[in-house]
Copies of this chain bind each other. A is one copy, B any other.
Amino acid sequence: MKDLHIPIEIDSELYTKNPDSSELGKKIISNSIELIYELGFEQFTFKKLGLKTNSPESSIYRYFNNKHRLLIYLTSWYWTWMEYKLVFATTNIESPSERLHITLDLLTKPVLIDNDFSYVNEILLSGIIFSESIKTYHTKNVDEANSKGSYTAYKTVVNRVAQIILEIKPSFPYPHMLISTVIEGAHHQKYFSEHLPELTDLAEDRNAITNFYKELVFNFL
């Protein structure tokens, strides 16, 4: 995986102009990741992004109609990339339960290593996903965004993991609920640990969140 260059392709419905097709487009992506990470999504504006990239605001609008679309693009990129990681990390492993362990590690821990195979900083992007990705679907126009495929990459990942769960326990009635609960829960708990620790039980243990969700899942199966 480390030395593999994987081209991440994003559905053309999710941008106005493909940012991967030009220099400015790539600068928009890499700078937006830094800026959203730094400011949070609310404070992030195309004007500020324009200043950072030394390009006028209007040029950015040629790639994305608005900042919400850009966030959807980034999350789609992340989940597409995450699916590759999951496939590579679990391929050739016989035991479904071991595959589930590996998967839960990948899904519940923020990324710490940037594989550096593109203009995307995966560490910062992972941070954005953990703290901002709910904002992609918690919006008035979820349904329209959904019909355009905005959440397809995420659903694909959830579905893939649900299949592993069904391998372990074919009669299990809630595979999708369980895995979406774990993913969203891990994001929440990470956020809580930093801002509202009373809602968690985290000692110094770096892996507490992962351990918690692994126990939760395997106890349920």
Contacts and interface: CB of A to CB of B under 8 A. Distances in A.
A115 interface: no
Interface string A105-144: 0000000000000000000000000011011011110110
A196 B184 CA distance: 14
B134 A195 contact: no
A140 B202 CA distance: 22
Contacts of A201: 173-177
Interface residues of A, number: 47
Nearest to A154: B199
A78 B181 CA distance: 23
A43 interface: yes
Contacts of A177: 189, 199-202, 209, 212
A137, A151, A174: most-surrounded residue (chain B CB, <10 A): A174
A12 interface: no
A131 to B, nearest CB: 7
A198 B220 CA distance: 21
Given A40-B139, A134-B134, A184-B185, 5 more contacts: A175-B201, A176-B200, A181-B189, A184-B184, A216-B216
